[in-house]
């Protein structure tokens, strides 16, 4: 028994001696580099409709009282801007303007989307070394720690870390001026029912397509002009040498096999295997630019998951009028692999805000030539800023 006590005493003594020059507890805690916000983490998520002058304006402090430098690296996609900002005394005001971030990345406000993220990662210098704000990870192949340092978060006093700051953006739901979600037109009882060419029509005959009793609608006449009244639309077929169609899943539908659900309501508009150019043309929407100086137009599009070919194309554009002149605004023009990249999800195709527009007419031109190639449309809007 005495020998056991003796050996325990010796082990503890040796541990004490070995830690005199390398105190692990002190390295991780007392000497760890860590900076935090004094009054809580500031707002870092911003509306694209109300962009701030400053992304961050807050006081930071050094709870360990050992930091000599706080340097931020700006990260956006694959771009890193080192030494974006440096602070050498604490407490201090941390001010990051939107313009300084855009300038550093060679961007403009027009480049900002709901997917945009700006990350600010800190390097804190202490007498012991430099501590990085990225989350650490351990590489089991090399038995080494990678990424950030283990020390930064160990002495946080309130959890309001200023070591890794992520700024994001969002687009609030727009305020509808006019539009359609294809809820008013007729959709056949069978969601997969076809639209059939009229008797006497050839597969490749060009011109406007009209509704047939009991079949999904390919055209619609507006029944009112209020905000909640859906606008009308018309369909046209143009030959491109592909042979045309006799009957296909074309027009207003409730089919959810591919999309699972529609963005707004229970119906949408579908195209399939038209073997030509199909044009879907929406009614012109008039806008009082004196009351609505900033407006836009958008549409949601879903491409079925399949192998899209180079000759599969879609172009979405708007004919607009402002200052008495007509302009064409192209919203989407892609084909083949570009469609593959955005398939199997709803995509918002959006003009963004335009100034002093007095009318919009949205048009879709598409060429697809396989029964597996299906496109769905929903929630077409001419919109204004959210209130």
Return per-residue pLDDT of the chain as tens, 387 residues.
545 444 433 333 334 444 444 444 554 455 578 999 999 999 999 988 789 999 999 999 999 899 999 999 999 999 999 999 999 999 999 999 999 999 999 999 989 988 899 999 999 999 888 989 886 665 667 666 555 554 544 455 566 899 999 999 987 778 999 999 999 999 998 998 999 999 999 999 999 999 999 999 999 999 999 999 999 999 999 999 999 999 999 999 999 999 999 999 999 999 999 999 999 999 999 999 999 999 999 999 999 999 999 999 999 999 999 999 999 999 999 999 999 999 999 999 999 889 999 999 999 999 999 999 999 999 999 999 876
Q: Is 352 left (phi over 0), alpha (psi -120 to 50) or beta?
A: left
Using alpha carbons, list the distances in angstroms from residue 5 to 12, 13, 17, 19, 119: 11, 12, 18, 21, 54
DSSP codes joined into one string, 286-331? E--TTT-SEEEEEEEEEE-SS---TT-EEEEEEEEEETTEEEEEEE
Q: Please, what is the end-to-end C-alpha distance for the chain in angstroms?
A: 81
Per the omega criterion (within 30 degrees of 0), is the bond before 328 cis?
Answer: no
Closest C-alpha to 285, from 354, 366, 209: 354
Q: Which domains does the chain have, with CATH numbers?
A: 20-170 (2.60.40.10), 175-384 (2.60.120)
- Regarding beta strands 164-170 and 45-47, do their DSSP bridges make them parallel or antiparallel, or are they unpaired? parallel
Q: How far apart are CA 363 and CA 233, in angstroms?
A: 9
Using alpha carbons, list the distances in angstroms from residue 134 to 114, 152, 202, 358, 382: 23, 9, 64, 49, 43
CA angle 110, 93, 167 (to 5 degrees): 30
Q: How far apart are CA 256 and CA 129, in angstroms?
A: 58
Helix then strand then coil, in percent of the chain rounded to 5, is: 10, 40, 50
CA angle 216, 219, 225 (to 5 degrees): 120
- Return the residue matching tokens 């527009």: 357
Q: Please state, as a whole number, how many other Cβ atoms lie within 10 Å of the Cβ of residue 281.
A: 18
Question: For residue 48, how far is the Cα from the chain centroid?
Answer: 12
Q: Please state, as a whole number, how many other Cβ atoms lie within 10 Å of the Cβ of residue 284.
A: 16
Closest C-alpha to 347, from 219, 259, 227: 259
């Amino acid at each position: 028994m005495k020998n056991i006590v003796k050996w325990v005493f010796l082990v503890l003594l040796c541990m004490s001696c070995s830690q005199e020059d390398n105190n692990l507890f002190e390295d991780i805690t007392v000497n760890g580099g860590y900076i935090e916000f004094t009054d809580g983490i500031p707002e870092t998520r911003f509306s694209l409709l109300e962009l701030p002058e400053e992304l961050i304006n807050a006081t930071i402090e050094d709870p360990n009282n050992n930091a000599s430098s706080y340097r931020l690296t700006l990260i956006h996609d694959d771009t890193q801007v080192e030494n974006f900002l440096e602070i050498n005394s604490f407490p201090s005001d941390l001010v990051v303007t939107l313009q300084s971030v855009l300038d550093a990345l060679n961007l403009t406000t027009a480049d900002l989307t709901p997917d945009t993220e700006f990350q600010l990662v800190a390097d804190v210098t202490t007498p012991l070394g430099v501590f990085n704000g990225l989350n650490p990870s351990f590489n089991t192949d090399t038995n080494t720690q990678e990424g950030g340092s283990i020390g930064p978060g160990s002495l946080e006093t309130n959890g309001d870390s200023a070591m890794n700051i992520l700024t994001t953006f969002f687009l609030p739901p727009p305020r509808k001026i006019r539009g359609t979600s294809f809820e008013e037109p007729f959709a056949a009882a069978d969601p997969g029912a076809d639209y059939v060419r009229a008797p006497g029509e050839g597969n490749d005959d060009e011109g406007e397509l009209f509704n047939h009793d009991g079949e999904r609608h390919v055209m619609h006449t507006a029944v009112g002009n209020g905000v909640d009244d859906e606008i009308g639309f018309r369909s046209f077929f143009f030959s491109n040498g592909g042979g045309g169609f006799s009957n296909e899943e074309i027009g207003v539908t409730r089919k959810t096999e591919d999309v699972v659900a529609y963005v707004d309501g229970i119906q949408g508009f579908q195209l399939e295997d038209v073997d030509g150019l199909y044009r879907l043309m929406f009614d012109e929407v008039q806008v009082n630019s004196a009351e609505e100086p900033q407006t836009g137009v958008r549409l949601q599009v879903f491409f079925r998951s399949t192998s899209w070919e180079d000759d599969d194309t879609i172009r979405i554009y708007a004919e607009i009028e402002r200052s008495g002149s007509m302009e064409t605004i192209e919203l989407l023009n892609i084909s083949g692999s570009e469609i593959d990249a955005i398939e199997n999800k709803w995509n918002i195709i959006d003009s963004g805000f335009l100034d002093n527009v007095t009318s919009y007419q949205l048009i879709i031109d598409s060429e697809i030539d396989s029964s597996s190639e299906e496109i769905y449309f929903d929630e077409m809007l001419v919109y204004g800023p959210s209130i």
